[in-house]
Amino acid sequence: MRKFSTLQMVLAAMVAAVYTVLTVFLPIPQYGEVQFRVAECMTLLPFLFPWAAPGLVVGCFLANLLGSPFVLDWVFGTLATAIACFLTARAPNKWLAALPPVICNAVIVGAEIAWSATGGFNGAFWAAFGPIALSVGAGELAVCLLLGVPLLAVLPKVKALRGVMAPSRLAVR
């Protein structure tokens, strides 16, 4: 188990707050089959800052709790973010760091939405799952590539953040 400093825990709490606010208050599709959740660009942060993962998981849970009426989303949407953060922190480069959030959300959130829409794992579920997973994955891919990867390129240049960055990522440009 990794220990985080007080500063890292405070920063993780700030990440949770920013994720929650961006998701709950931006007037764009954040929930459902078509979503463009801007805060998901932050799921690439564990690539540079492993301490950001708990903040992202808490932020996702709070955003789903406040914005989604589905208990499944509270659990499985948060699970998708937790798995994505774990895998992103271990990605070999910033381009591959974008894949775990896309795949996890497409599969897990896509299945959750298809299950909610069809009432369970039946023939209708499998017919709905593919298009829903593609839709969720496409929105996630757009956010991660258009916002997340550039974020990973800029953050290492911020001198104030270099002290809390994973030592193995200091050379990332």
Residue 77: what pLDDT? 94
Cα 128 from chain centre: 23
Residue 27: what pLDDT? 80
Q: Low-confidence residues of the chain, pLDDT below 50? A: 173
Give the position of tokens 């497409």. Answer: 106
Residue 92: what pLDDT? 93
Detail the DSSP E strand segments found in the chain. none
CB-CB contact of 137 with 102 (8 Å): yes
Residue 1: what pLDDT? 54
Alpha-carbon distance of 113 to 33, in angstroms, equals 7
CB-CB contact of 155 with 50 (8 Å): no
Collapsing DSSP states into helix, strand and coil, what is residue 4? coil
Q: For 68, left (φ over 0), alpha (ψ -120 to 50), or beta?
A: beta
pTM: 0.91
Query: Can you give the C-alpha Rg of the chain in angstroms?
Result: 16
Residue 170: what pLDDT? 64
Residue 55: what pLDDT? 97
2-52 per-position pLDDT tens digit = 688 899 999 999 999 999 999 999 887 777 777 889 999 999 999 999 999
Cα 9 from chain centre: 18
Residue 69: what pLDDT? 85
